[in-house]
Amino acid sequence: MSKAWAVLLVAAAVVRAQDARSIVEESQRRARSGSQRYEGTLEVIDAKRKVTTKRWIYERLGSAGNSKAVLRFTAPAEVKGVALLIHNHPDRASDQWMWTPAVQRERRIAYQDRKTRFFGTDFTFEDLEERDVDRSTYRMLGEEAIEGVPCWKIESTPKPEARSQYTRLYLWIRKPDYVAAQIDCFQRDRVIRRIRYSDVEKVQNIWTARRIEVHDLTRDSRTILRLEKLEYDVTLPADLFTLQALRRER
């Protein structure tokens, strides 16, 4: 192989990687808002197909991995008041604290516990954080349709400082609106969690998936989250996203 040809191959690989990163970056840009609030209904379906329903309220201030968020269960009674405070950072893993009313104290979530399920759902603590595009590297895998919608298929590999439970992710990003359609989460060479996004609607000029289904392939359980009363760019006080506010019953 000639030196010139080798240089061309390297340049082509760089372009493909940049194209993949640019697509993810554009997807994040189009979803950007200064704040977000929604009421979520969750159907949790275990391996025996028993269904339980939970509800939470989610509020976020900031965007693109540099944000603060609180989610608080409102039903059923046995989880009401349980809350999670998340401080997302652009350059490292998030800080998280969980408040449990029954013991009247908050607990900081250790890094090694981020892979555990959040209060009986199929979301892990890590799945609930936001990550900036710069905390992973990207590679274009090709194109593939999800539910009839053409998508780019991209491999995302978390950088070491991201401290992820996942070895890599496969992302399917819809071509028409740059909304994520599916994410396959790997541990080594095995998919352990699949997240599917559907019911895509434009809300305040932001294309948004109103239904998110998380399938834990190890447990064969699923959680279906439906976003209700969704609003972007709502006024939220900064002191809502503090440990003091986390302890307050609402």
List the domain boundaries for the chain: 3-246
What mean pLDDT do residues 176-183 have?
98
Per the CB < 8 A criterion, the answer to whether 146 and 127 are in contact is: no
Joined tokens for residue 116: 């555990």
Q: What share of the chain is helix, strand, coil (3-state, %, to 5)?
A: 20, 50, 30
- Per-residue pLDDT band at 17 (split at 50, 70, 90): low
Nearest to 124 by CA among 166, 157, 68: 166
pLDDT of residue 162: 80
Whether the per-residue pLDDT at 160 is higher than 90: the answer is no
pLDDT of residue 90: 85
Give how far Cα 153 sits from Cα of 37, 114, 141, 214, Å: 29, 26, 5, 19
Query: What predicted TM-score, i.e. pTM, was given to this entire model?
Result: 0.89
- Per-residue pLDDT band at 12 (split at 50, 70, 90): very low
Which of 4-43 are b and which e, b meaning 16 or more Cβ less than 10 Å from the residue's Cβ? eeeeeeeeeeeeebeebbebbbebbeebebebbbbebebe
User: What average pLDDT does the chain have?
Assistant: 91
What mean pLDDT do residues 42-69 have?
94
Whether the per-residue pLDDT at 22 is higher than 60: the answer is yes
CATH number of 3-246: 2.50.20.10
Contacts with 47 (C-beta within 8 Å, 6 or more apart), sequence order: 219, 220, 221
Residues 75-115: tens digit of each pLDDT: 999 999 999 999 998 888 899 999 999 888 899 999 889 99
What mean pLDDT do residues 8-21 have?
55
pLDDT of residue 26: 96
Chain-centre distance for alpha carbon 39: 16
pLDDT of residue 1: 54
pLDDT of residue 44: 97
Per the CB < 8 A criterion, the answer to whether 220 and 33 are in contact is: no
Largest separation between any pair of C-alpha atoms in the chain? 70
Whether the per-residue pLDDT at 25 is higher than 60: the answer is yes
- Per-residue pLDDT band at 177 (split at 50, 70, 90): very high
pLDDT of residue 14: 41
